[in-house]
Amino acid sequence: MRIDRLTVAIRPRKPWEAADLGVRLLQDSRTAVMRLWCALMIPLVAALVWLEHSTGRLIGLFVLWWLKPLLDYAVLWVLSRAVFGEKVTLGASLAAIPGFFGKGLLGALTLRRFSLSRAYVLPVRLLEDLTGPAQDERIRLMRHQQTGRARWLIQIYMAAEMSVFFGLLSLLVWMSPAFQDIKVVSDFLEAQAGDWKRDVLVLIYGLTITLVEPFYVAAGFMLYLNRRTDLEAWDIEIAFRRLAERISPAGRD
Mean pLDDT along residues 91-99 = 94
pLDDT at 175 over 80: no
Mean predicted lDDT score pLDDT of the chain: 86
pLDDT at 112 over 80: yes
Separation CA 84–CA 63 (nearest Å):
33
Separation CA 11–CA 209 (nearest Å):
31
Contact 221, 80 (CB under 8 A): yes
Decide: helix, strand or coil at residue 34: helix
77: number of CA atoms within 13 Å, CB side? 26
- pTM here is 0.88
Of 26, 3, 23, 16, the residue nearest 233 (C-alpha): 3
Please tell me the predicted confidence (pLDDT) of residue 144: 87
Contact 219, 79 (CB under 8 A): no
